[in-house]
Structure 1
Amino acid sequence: MIERIWSGKSPLYLLLLPLSWLYGLVSGAIGLSYRLGLKKTWRAPVPVVVVGNLTAGGNGKTPVVIWLVEQLQQHGIRVGVVSRGYGGKAEHYPLLLNKNTTTFEAGDEPVLIYQRTGASVAVAPRRSEAVQMLVDNAKPQLIITDDGLQHYALARDKEIVVVDGVRRFGNGWWLPAGPMRERIGRLASVDAVITNGGNAQFGEIAMTLQPGDAVNLLSGERRPVHSLESVIAMAGIGHPPRFFATLEQCGVTPIRTVSLADHQALSENDVAKLVQPGQTLLMTEKDAVKCRAFVTGHDNWWYLPVDARLAQPQADALLQSLLDLVH
């Protein structure tokens, strides 16, 4: 239902407009207070790059963060990543991730980024505290913040916005009548717009998500995803239909698809009951980092990793602009 409302296909958004006007008034006032200097921003001693969204819901932001980290690492740059750690319930913050950190403590996206890149990752509701922890313990040359475009308390040197190229900005209204955290005009002030799928507009960097081989959670075995049989597909991401569409493009037609809430906590019992003997459970990598805690005994659980692919030469220009912050 919410997708129909936000896309403009349902007139029910009209009932929510008063709440949207209030949201816009409050968020606009907060942004103005920082621009006027009424509220102070905190500037880190190293360059900070924000990767964020204008809309709620999954746009492919985390794959972009991973791509940026890996590209910078290939140029010898020590990169740190900070996140609010949405869904995490650590005993204390800021929290510096290590190989034993769970998604219960840090949230799923920070753990995924840490496991994929090996970069230093810190989480805290106040991102400045996470940044300071990285500076004190990891000595990064550049810090990327996963989300936080609207977190103006943290000064930034570059802003990158990721846009869902298919859904774009829906009906264009603020939450909750529409998907917008900020109005579309905000794009004029950011340094780069990366468009995930669909058709990138003039000045935007086109991006696709390239799936790899399916990976078995228990054994680490890799095999072509289309070779999996009797697939039950599970996705607990911001926009599950994107994952299911990717499977179709890979030649996989699931017996059943299961859409979960973004960042939803998972238990062994909840996941195990999704499949019957002889069936294969195929999930996103973001779900897999949560399921690793209880995968023992389930050799039919697989996940599909995806990598961001950005169009050239715009991708090289973006990367060079970040390298210039360091050198």
Structure 2
Amino acid sequence: MMSAFLKIIDGRSPLLWPVRLLLWLLSGPYRLVILWRNSRFDRGHRVVHAGVPVISIGNLTTGGTGKTPMVRYVAQWLRDCGIRVTLLSRGYGAEQGKPNDEALELERRLPDVPHLQNPSRVESATVAVEEFAAQILLLDDGFQHRFLARDLDIVLIDATCPFGFSNLLPAGLLREPVSSLARADFVIITRTDRVDTDTLANIRTVIRNANAQIPMAEFAHDVEGLENYSGTVIPCSELVGKKVLMFSGIGNHEAFRQLLTSQGIQIAGELEFKDHHHFDREDIESIVKQAQQYSVDAIICTMKDLVKIQVDRLRNVPLWALSVGLTPTVGKAELDQALGRIVNLVELDDS
């Protein structure tokens, strides 16, 4: 489980230093591979141009940074401009021939935006342009996927764990060094509502040290309410004072818990599954068993979990998903300008 791994790498327990030392030693070869790989891409080796503008949204770290809501935000922004946009993702965690949880969630939110899942984003880019007549490609989790050239490289930084405990995998959560921000075009700091102003200032300083001129924006995560699979939406206040069981199969279970408690929801029990978890009958029975054990009034999961379970109730207990959106708090004009520059490329291509 991610929470157990975080307890090892966060450095708080002195008893776990032998394990941390081993992980730090293992991160050495990983660093060499990353540096070698990036040097090849920096020279343009095997980089393919799609023929239409590409926007990449990615991370420096593994785990949840709010990427799916941000992909939704940018895709909707482009659709509002009248742009034919297609999402490209790897499809991590998908069952054979089926969309993964992120694709199911985005399909629910953006039914008019095609979403192609393929480990080769180059292949799916060709399909998007030739078969869907895409004007802009939105590359999901694309910062490390450098085979496809991009016109705007956006990197998300989670304010609650911005730099992965300052170590590369597996000693930390960094996929590549913070210095890699030098090749980014735009940085968005997410979950800014969960940290204080001093923490935010320190994050900005680290980013500026890696890329002094990079434009930045900041987004808060806003709870929009609770939604069931049928689409009914209720305010979180309806469950305040009632007992709730929560569960999730995402990359940042702790952030999910914090969002719930920030709404005044009492959590009687919780279950944490691995990221992109496929729920089987045994999992559902475990959830129901805990719900009965704590005599809860409702069960709450994430939207990524709900779109896979696809029911409104579990043994007569209402099942709700926390609906989360993003609100820009700083730098919206700068982000609009960066996205507008890409839209102008489409207008130039069509002229």
Quote how far apart the aligned CAs of 1:251 are: 1.2
Quote how far apart the aligned CAs of 1:326 are: 2.1
Quote how far apart the aligned CAs of 1:4 are: 3.1
Q: Which residue of 2 aligns with 1:204?
A: 216
Q: Which residue of 1 aligns with 2:253?
A: 240
**CA, structure 1 residues 293+227, in 2 after alignment: closer, same or farther (shift >3 Å)?**
closer
**CA, structure 1 residues 108+139, in 2 after alignment: closer, same or farther (shift >3 Å)?**
same
Deviations 1:252-281 (A, max 9, x none): 121112221110111244225422265311
SS in 2 for 1:163: strand
Q: Which residue of 2 aligns with 1:25?
A: 32
Q: Matches of 1:305 and 1:184 in 2, distance apart? A: 31
Indicate if the aligned counterparts of 1:6 and 1:170 stay in contact, CA closer than 8 A: no
- Is 306-315 or 68-77 further displaced after alignment? 306-315
Counterpart code for 1:194: I
Q: Which runs of 5+ in 2 are unaligned?
A: 206-214
**CA, structure 1 residues 178+215, in 2 after alignment: closer, same or farther (shift >3 Å)?**
same
Candidates 5, 14, 19, aligned match of 1:2: 5
Deviations 1:261-306 (A, max 9, x none): 1101112442254222653111111111111179687561111111
Q: Matches of 1:249 and 1:63 in 2, distance apart? A: 19
Q: Which residue of 1 aligns with 2:138?
A: 144
Q: Which residue of 2 aligns with 1:315?
A: 335
Q: Which residue of 2 aligns with 1:225?
A: 236
Quote how far apart the aligned CAs of 1:236 are: 1.2
Q: Matches of 1:299 and 1:257 in 2, distance apart? A: 15
SS in 2 for 1:179: coil
Bigger helix fraction: 2
Q: Matches of 1:262 and 1:34 in 2, distance apart? A: 29
Counterpart code for 1:48: V
**CA, structure 1 residues 76+170, in 2 after alignment: closer, same or farther (shift >3 Å)?**
same
SS in 1 for 2:338: helix
**CA, structure 1 residues 70+306, in 2 after alignment: closer, same or farther (shift >3 Å)?**
same
State the number of aligned residues. 312
Q: Matches of 2:286 and 2:314 in 1, distance apart? A: 15
> Are residues 1:132 and 2:126 paired?
yes
**CA, structure 1 residues 31+212, in 2 after alignment: closer, same or farther (shift >3 Å)?**
same
Deviations 1:57-113 (A, max 9, x none): 11111111000001111111111001000011334xxxxxxxxxxxxx121112211
Quote how far apart the aligned CAs of 1:134 are: 1.4
Q: Which residue of 1 aligns with 2:321?
A: 303
Cα RMSD (Å)? 2.0
Quote how far apart the aligned CAs of 1:205 are: 1.2
TM-score by length of 2: 0.83
**CA, structure 1 residues 211+26, in 2 after alignment: closer, same or farther (shift >3 Å)?**
same
Q: Matches of 1:298 and 1:128 in 2, distance apart? A: 46
Indicate if the aligned counterparts of 1:231 and 1:255 stay in contact, CA closer than 8 A: yes
SS in 1 for 2:310: helix
TM-score by length of 1: 0.89
Counterpart code for 1:302: W
> Are residues 1:106 and 2:112 paired?
no
Indicate if the aligned counterparts of 2:298 and 2:317 stay in contact, CA closer than 8 A: no
Quote how far apart the aligned CAs of 1:324 are: 2.8
> Are residues 1:172 and 2:185 paired?
no
**CA, structure 1 residues 23+80, in 2 after alignment: closer, same or farther (shift >3 Å)?**
same
**CA, structure 1 residues 301+128, in 2 after alignment: closer, same or farther (shift >3 Å)?**
same
Q: Once the two structures are aligned, what percentage of the paired residues are identical? A: 31
Indicate if the aligned counterparts of 2:91 and 2:117 stay in contact, CA closer than 8 A: yes
> Are residues 1:251 and 2:264 paired?
yes
Q: Matches of 2:71 and 2:109 in 1, distance apart? A: 11
**CA, structure 1 residues 34+216, in 2 after alignment: closer, same or farther (shift >3 Å)?**
closer
